[in-house]
Amino acid sequence: MPDSNTSQPIMRVEALTKKFGPFTALNGIDFEVHAGEVHALLGDNGAGKSTLIKILSGVHKPTSGRILIDGREAEFDSPRDASRAGIGTVYQDLALNPLMSVTRNFFMGREISRGPKPFSWLAMDEMARITHDEMVKIGIDISDPSQAVGTMSGGQRQTLAIARAIHFGARVLILDEPTSALGQKQQMEVLKTIQRVRLRGDIAIIFITHNEVHAKLVADRFTFLALGEVIGRGTRADLEGEDIRHLMAGGANISDLQKQLEAVRLSGRAAS
């Protein structure tokens, strides 16, 4: 892992703010990601994670603040602009068509064709080879890339979406809750994929999750959001288990939460 104190981050976010009318969704976010690191972005629903993802991936424009790529300020007017800048976002829905083949999903909208137009044809053998090879690089060996995506496990689908993003130039890989709605075995498939991508050393991974256990397993650094603001950050060495739980609860003390639950339990008894 690079020394984050000396290496320049691939992406740096400075004082990022996003307002929707009178509502402030993000308020002065500072955040950076380095090559060869997994940076976990944690927080409860409403913390601002989704808004931040959409700004970084070009869906929304910030109200103020700036995004720097390799030290240079970047502005995204669309997801295509963010993609050109090397930001690949893998959303929960994965943007995969279950009825189409693995190969066609891998190259969706970017198919390789041969021959003069309008008589060109798709180079299916070449695309199948590339799809197979790119997925093998991060741990999944699909013997038949012509199989429908609907026949793949949830973990394999995540790997397909990640391999696709990397092949088409992602240097910052944003993973939106990649282990949610998966069984334990499939969750481990995804965590292993994340670890393999990390070990390449040239890609920065932003791992958005509600799962503190998964974050602790693979993340090098952590940023915690609550109500649109950063409430804590640190490296794996900085944070102990109770620190992470405390920040995941929005900064509330676990003992205070336990007292609140106990008060509800006692009031329920009194009412009965």
- Tell which wins on pLDDT, 74 or 182: 74
- Predicted confidence at residue 45, as pLDDT, reads 83
Token pair in block for residue 196: 């393999």
* Strands in the chain per DSSP E: 11-20, 23-33, 38-42, 64-69, 72-74, 87-90, 113-114, 121-122, 172-176, 204-209, 221-226, 229-235
Mean pLDDT of the chain: 88
Higher pLDDT residue, 90 or 241?
90
Q: What's the pTM value of the predicted model, to 2 decimals?
A: 0.85
Residue 3 has pLDDT above 90, yes or no: no
In the predicted model, is pLDDT for residue 270 greater than 90? no
Residue 164 burial by Cβ neighbours in a 10 Å radius (0-12, 13-18, 19+): buried
Residue 196 and residue 190: Cα distance in Å, rounded?
Answer: 10
Contacts 24+ apart (CB under 8 A), 74-79: none
The listed CATH number (3.40.50.300, 2.70.70.10, 3.40.630.10, 3.40.50.1000) that belongs to domain 11-239: 3.40.50.300
Q: Are strands 204-209 and 38-42 parallel, antiparallel or unpaired?
A: parallel
* CB-count exposure of residue 180 (10 Å: 0-12, 13-18, 19+): middle
Distances (CA, A) of 95 to 32, 84, 91, 149: 26, 18, 7, 11
Assess whether the previous peptide bond of 118 is cis (omega < 30° from 0): yes
Q: What is the domain partition of the chain in residue ranges?
A: 11-239
Residue 87: pLDDT band (50, 70, 90) is very high
Helix (H) or strand (E) holding 50: helix 49-56
The H-or-E segment that residue 248 falls in is helix 241-248
pLDDT digit string (tens) for 92-116? 888 899 999 999 999 998 999 988 8
**Distance between CA 93 and CA 24 in Å, rounded?**
26
State the pLDDT confidence band at 268, using cuts at 50, 70 and 90: low
For position 133, what pLDDT does the model report?
A: 95
Which candidate, 43, 49, 37, places its Cα nearest to that of 236? 37
pLDDT beyond 50 at 203: yes
Task: Please report how the helices 154-167 and 124-137 are oriented relative to each other, as an axis angle in degrees rounded to 10.
Answer: 110
3-state helix, strand, coil in the chain (%, to 5): 35, 25, 40
Q: Helices then strands (H, E): number in the chain?
A: 9, 12
Q: pLDDT digit string (tens) for 16-60?
A: 999 999 999 999 999 999 999 999 999 888 889 999 999 999 999
DSSP state for residue 86 in the 8-state scheme: T
